[in-house]
Amino acid sequence: MILLLGGCALRHHLHYEPVAFALAPYDPALVTGMSTQLDQMRGHAIGEIRTAGGAPVDDLGSLPPEVVWAAWSTALGWARGAELDLLVDGAPVTVWWSVDRDLTLAWSDATIWRAPTGVTSEWLVDTYGIGGVFDGDRTWGAAELATLDLSLSLLTDEELPAVSGVRFVREGVSPRGLRELAWYDPTDEPPEISIFDAAFDIESDGFVGPVDAPLPAGVGSILHEIGHALADLEARDAWLRCGVARAGSDREERRDACRAYAEVRRRGPRIDAWQRFRDGRPGPSSFGFRNPHESYAEAFALAHVDPDALERALPGATSWFERADTR
């Protein structure tokens, strides 16, 4: 998963923005000026402003200052159609910008989920059947291990085989030179999911889940990669068959086995089913607008942490994931 800073491709479509851009450092002294500027933008750059319950906001000064900060900070062209989960000075705020630039705001006094202490890599292996938790050029912190535990705990019994034998490795930055949060590659054996610094760095500015039950943003990053692992189960099996054929089969068998891998790697049955469901619709997030693999992984993560947000972004997707034949 790559860190994005704006959903420009989706500006004319409702969508979930999976990674909040870094907000300016919160300064309560600036909030009054922000309220004034937002009022001046009404009727042209901004349409109606309302709360999640539908009540119009006539007096921006009546809103919590953190909410004004989130509204002003996202009053940009790229945010059209976007739903964003933001943390402003630790306060969770969700903003929805319609494609017509109407603004809906939701907030709560809930605190972000904090990890329990005492989660160990051995416990994670025993509980979920993963292939291990390993330090790369970074060491797993206690809170990071607990975030991994929370992510794995959200999987259903039908989805757990996707992480069977998978190694979770803590790395600093992507070797591909991209601003990636995490990475899964089914051609590793055993397969690995690398979690980079960026997956945890974003937690200072954003969260996932409902605004009244916010979860660390890293949970979304981890679940996104697990979504890839689930979608690539057939590709993983085909890759192993290709490897066996390369080691000892004749030329025709090698060609057939590796061609079969190439075919399923490009799509696979789950991605094909997802594409049939999407039927040309974009989303659910700006990441994976046109890439079906990334779209599926984003939807998979949202289905686990915020199914209501998934439904707003792509109607019918929540029930699609609830059907066993699509998992």
More confident residue, 275 or 250: 275
pLDDT at position 264, please?
67
Residue 80 — very low, low, confident or very high, per pLDDT cuts 50/70/90? confident
Query: Of 50, 73, 107, which residue sits at a domain end?
Result: 107
Same domain, 125 and 223: yes
User: What is the tally of structural domains in the chain?
Assistant: 3
DSSP class per residue in 53-120: TS-B---GGGS-HHHHHHHHHT-SGGGTTEEEEEEETTEEEEEEE-TT--EEEEE--PPPP-PPS---
Residue pLDDT, tens place only, 182-225? 999 877 778 899 999 999 988 788 999 999 999 999 999 999 99
Average pLDDT over every residue of 95-103: 93
Same domain, 221 and 139: yes
In-domain check, residue 272: no
Bridge partner list, 46: 42
Same domain, 213 and 240: no
Rounded-to-integer distance, Cα 323 and Cα 272, Å: 15
Query: Of 266, 290, 318, which residue sits at a domain end?
Result: 266
Mean pLDDT over the full length of the chain: 87
In-domain check, residue 317: no
| CATH number where 167 lies | 3.30.2010
Beta strand 103-107 pairing with 91-97: antiparallel
In-domain check, residue 40: yes
In-domain check, residue 280: no
Same domain, 40 and 97: yes
Q: In the 8-state DSSP scheme, what is residue 180?
A: B
Structural domain that includes position 254: 234-266
Same domain, 49 and 92: yes
Model confidence, pTM: 0.90
Percentage of residues in the chain having pLDDT higher than 70: 91
Rounded-to-integer distance, Cα 302 and Cα 286, Å: 13
In-domain check, residue 319: no
Neighbours of 179 (CB within 10 A): 14
Same domain, 100 and 151: no
Residue pLDDT, tens place only, 192-202? 999 999 999 88
Query: Of 107, 138, 157, which residue sits at a domain end?
Result: 107
Residue pLDDT, tens place only, 251-284? 777 777 777 767 666 678 889 999 999 998 988 9
